[in-house]
Structure 1
Amino acid sequence: MPDTMSSIRWHPRGPFFVLHGQYRQRYLISPLLNGASFMYKQLIASALLVGLIATVQAETPNLEPGLWETKATMRGEGGFPMPEQTHTSTDCMTEEDLAGGDAFFEDVEQCEFERREIRRDGADFEMNCSDPSGMSMNMTATMSFHGDTSEGTIRAELETPMGPMTMVTTLEGRRIGDCP
């Protein structure tokens, strides 16, 4: 089974997922979906980007600027169990990144927020998304910020042509030094 996290990394600037690489396109969750067009990874990336950073009256997160190592572990539950897949990356987070919430705003097509909140000690959001192919997703996220560490969980309940599926992503971040 290919590494479904290869096109997404958890970014400490918020923290949130950021698609990396040359292309922003639709990705499959795994071969288990057999050709489904649902944009799970892109939606997580955009949802966290908007939900955790672009809240107008947000407090500055309790995260220290510097070089951060981040780890995202994704697993499938329910009728479509999937082996855990983990991706680790490093990124530089500046004071401007922490203070500039609106700079990270990005539209999330096909999604609507039910709730979003960012605080000094963490962030929470819930959103619903739908795909023209008839798939839908309810995603909730909870993040905690601790200065030089952060952690969180994203839970996505998906309705697919093959039946319901749950994807859980666990996030861990830690400051490992100054930016180069």
Structure 2
Amino acid sequence: MTKFNTFKELADDTKEKMKSYHDYPIKTLSRYDGIVKIIGHLMKQNNCVYSTNIIDQWLKECTIKFSKSTVERYRRVACLLSDNYHGNLDGWKIYSSQPCLIPKSNEYLNVINDYKIFLENEEYSTKTILCRLHDARYFLVYLENNNVFNTKDISHQMISNYILSEHFENRKIAGISA
């Protein structure tokens, strides 16, 4: 584990590691410097190299009203910094913005496992597999919450209702861009 003497050392090292993985989202890197500048000021105020607790507390108590997506950006950078600070940053990771929902029924757990095996056999990238499994889990939990515990009972109407559910509110239409 690398010992960092200053927050700047940690931030610079984290950024270099992110760049070396060649698999990071460009938006994360473009926002990184601005977020790190603010977090660095916070660490300096608290006379420490790094503390996730201080960042979390600041985000909760911040007088500036951040949007949910801005809080998630800060949290993502904080997770990268934390992993590097603790010697665990060894590749690009997806940091969930909320706890991952997991279906409870054995049938749906088996569906998730089979789907994961299928995606791996089809040689999808790790990020794609994680995203698709995340989406599948949310759908299966939605079904469980609506008392549907068997895949044979899923109807087109249930799928439509899921797409119209709260989970998809405020989503922007996206597609392939040139």
TM-score after normalising by structure 2? 0.23
Larger Rg, first or second structure (1 or 2): 2
More strand by share: 1
Whose helix fraction is larger, Structure 1's or Structure 2's? 2
Higher RCO, Cα 8 Å, sep 6+? 1
Structure 1 length as normaliser, TM-score?
0.23
